[in-house]
Amino acid sequence: MTTWAVDRQQFLDTGLTTVTLPDRCGPTFDAILNSLKDAYPDEDHEVDGVRYFTDRIMDVWQINEHVRELAVVPEVLDLLSYLFGRRPLPFQTLNFRHGTQQHLHSDALHNNSDPAGFLASVWVALEDITMDNGPVVYYPGSHRLAEISVGDVTQPRGPHSNDAIRSTLAAAGIVPHHGLIRRGQAMVWVGDLIHGGAPVLYPGATRHSQITHYFFEGCRYWVPKSSTAGNVIWRHPRWIA
């Protein structure tokens, strides 16, 4: 049973669904915005496992209860259990204040599970997202183009440059969609989905958002982009309890 009537088959086919978080999360969003407003640094650095970059803060859940709270919203955990058929284990947060304009990629290149396919991302809009402030751009169905598994590390996995990824997507007839969602909505996507950040059309516009990454119970966890044949880099995540 989940709070939202999400069509699981459609989620598995497209790789993404959008939901509206409960109203009670509103104060949590405000608390995140307030508590992080002066936290973005001029220079990248790390303090006690929290990584501060000029454009993002990674794993601040360890010291920020509001970020942690948003990572473990029970309705979201229930939805992930339903969609993936295993208990979700949140392990990483990323907070942003501007559009990332990030190149196209899949999250599964950075973190993946063994067996493959048990990685999810939940991207929460902390303010309204428009074409002006650099929405997420994503390609429904692109997760079906390739899956990274531990056995594949000897082979470079598919194209990596933006242009190469774009031509693979075009050849497969997959067109881009923009995550034009409102404050309080969240996009849930599978780790293999190709996505990135669209251009910021209004320079300086804020685009406050939080991503949480989830693995699932009963897997091993590894880092495809750092792994080579004979040297798989395993991960032992610190779970967000």
Q: Which stretch binds ligand AKG (CB under 6 A): 78-86, 96-104, 159-167, 214-222?
A: 96-104
Residue nearest to ligand AKG (CB): 197
Report if residue 136 touches ligand AKG, rule: CB under 6 A: yes
* Interacting residue with ligand AKG among 2, 35, 81, 102 (CB under 6 A): 102
Write b or e for each residue in 114-134: b if 16 or more Cβ atoms lie within 10 A of its Cβ, otherwise e.
bebbbbbbbbbbbbebbeebb
Which residue's CB is nearer to ligand AKG, number 117 or number 191? Answer: 191
Q: Which stretch binds ligand AKG (CB under 6 A): 16-24, 92-100, 139-147, 227-235?
A: 92-100
| Residue 28 near residue 192 (C-beta atoms within 8 A) | no
Least separation in angstroms between CB 5 and ligand AKG: 26
Least separation in angstroms between CB 209 and ligand AKG: 6
Site string for ligand AKG, 16-55 (x = CB under 6 A): ----------------------------------------
Rounded Cα–Cα distance for residues 168 and 173 (Å): 9
Report if residue 107 touches ligand AKG, rule: CB under 6 A: yes
Report if residue 89 touches ligand AKG, rule: CB under 6 A: no
* Interacting residue with ligand AKG among 193, 197, 210, 222 (CB under 6 A): 197
DSSP string, 160-226: -SHHHHHHHHHHTT---EE----TTEEEEEETT--EEE---SSTT----EEEEEEEETT-EEE-GGG
Token duo for residue 172? 């497969």
Least separation in angstroms between CB 37 and ligand AKG: 18
- Residue identified by tokens 């982009």 is 225
- Look up residue 231 and give its DSSP letter: B
| Residue 122 near residue 187 (C-beta atoms within 8 A) | yes
Report if residue 214 touches ligand AKG, rule: CB under 6 A: no
Number of residues counted as binding ligand AKG (CB under 6 A): 11
Rounded Cα–Cα distance for residues 144 and 14 (Å): 9
| Residue 240 near residue 93 (C-beta atoms within 8 A) | yes
Q: Residues interacting with ligand AKG, by CB under 6 A? A: 94, 96, 99-100, 102, 107, 136, 195, 197, 209, 211
